[in-house]
Amino acid sequence: MMQAASAALAMIEGVRNPGLVIGRPRILEARRTDLDTFSVGDEAVIEFGPGLLQFLSLRNDRGVVLGEGGAFEWTIPVGAAGTAAYAAVEPAGFEGVNTWTGVSNEVRWMRACRPDETLIATCRIAALTRAATLPYRVFSRERGDLVVEGEFVFVSVTSDAEGLYVMEPRRRPDAPVSARGGAGLRDFGSHPLAPAVTENDASEPVSWVHLPVWSASAPPLREPPEAKADPLFVLRPPRVVRATAPRGNPGAVWEWLFPRDLLRLLGHPIGGASEPLGRRHHPYGRLLEGMAVHAALEIGGGREPRTLRVEWWSPTRGEADFRLRSTLLACAGGSAESSHDIYEGERPVGTVRVVTDGN
């Protein structure tokens, strides 16, 4: 029986799909002449994951790509380069203080980006006059080839008359540090970024290190990588975590994990709107019913739900993933009846009874 249950579970789950995840691009490392300011020759490397392009490459039922008109397979690598450029001119701790904007960009593509690859973008401060000249290159971490290269020109759009937080750059690597730039900053010896970070740091993956991201004259001081943050967007599918018997067997108990991702999507505004996507669908109540119908059709092998009764025990808050305990009460003549206890984390939120029809 347990072997059959295991086979059924494998059949239900198939290959475990992590779902759609849009991560946060992050700075892998920056090399600077002075960790308290930006200088000619400073360089930065960033990582840009595949989630955004995967999402924008999805198609509706008419075959139209969600990102139609944006040419994202070409522009996302350039966006990654822009992130590297900002990382080069904004030392750690000063993000958003010395605000920059682009005034020009020259682009040379080698190929389009693919939805299955992570981009590694590198940018160098080549010159500082009234503007910053920022040549860049973007590589595929998986394939190791150059995807796009080009050059930004940035100008600073903010300043402070008293110079309290405008960082004075070094226009040459060997130039002395400006007294104005050092005002109010920590001494180098106590600077939190002073310790060098090696490429063999066990806490950081090094799969990008083989790429030619640094110039031969890259400065010696290194900023450590940004900490990994929670993804910007996650949409994981539900999955069975335990089954005592295959589908269609009365008495079978299946335990499910239903991530809260779908409820978060329906319960929050998107695309600059002010109202939630699921407005007037009442997703905080409908989701319990929907999860139960999904589980009932799977455990009973039916094709359509016929009746449902739900009892809410406590409000749904969307604060944790959902767990379902589904029990197949009866199954005969193509009809099945099942009961589903639903928990948000460890907190019970409802019980749903569903009758399905297989005819």
> How buried is residue 325: exposed, middle or buried, by Cβ count under 10 Å (0-12/13-18/19+)?
middle
> How buried is residue 164: exposed, middle or buried, by Cβ count under 10 Å (0-12/13-18/19+)?
exposed
Residue the block writes with tokens 């389009």: 112
Measured between alpha carbons, how far is residue 111 from residues 3, 75, 97, 167, 336 in Å?
49, 11, 35, 37, 53
Residue 44 has pLDDT above 50, yes or no: yes
What does the pLDDT average to over 178-197? 35
119 and 48 Cβ atoms separated by less than 8 Å: yes
Q: What is the pLDDT of residue 35?
A: 87
pLDDT (tens digit, 9 = 90+) per residue, 198-225?
333 434 555 788 899 999 999 999 988 8
- Quote the tokens at residue 125: 């401060």
Nearest to 253 by CA among 11, 5, 3, 4: 5
Residue 182 has pLDDT above 70, yes or no: no
- In the chain, pLDDT over 90 holds for what percent of residues? 62
pLDDT (tens digit, 9 = 90+) per residue, 109-126?
999 999 999 999 999 999
pLDDT (tens digit, 9 = 90+) per residue, 82-118?
999 999 998 877 665 667 888 999 999 999 999 999 9
Please, which pLDDT band fits residue 291 given cuts at 50, 70 and 90?
Answer: very high
- In sequence order, what DSSP letters do the residues of 61-113 get, joined into one string? TTS-BTTTTS-HHHHHHHHHHHHHHHHHHS-TT-TTTS-EEEEEEEEEESS--
Read off the pTM. 0.80
Alpha carbons 114 and 56: distance in angstroms, whole number: 12
pLDDT (tens digit, 9 = 90+) per residue, 301-351?
988 999 999 999 999 999 999 999 999 999 988 899 999 999 999 999 999
**Domains recognised in the chain with CATH numbers:** 2-17+236-357 (3.10.129.10), 20-223 (3.10.129.10)
Residue 179 has pLDDT above 50, yes or no: no
Please, which pLDDT band fits residue 173 given cuts at 50, 70 and 90?
Answer: low
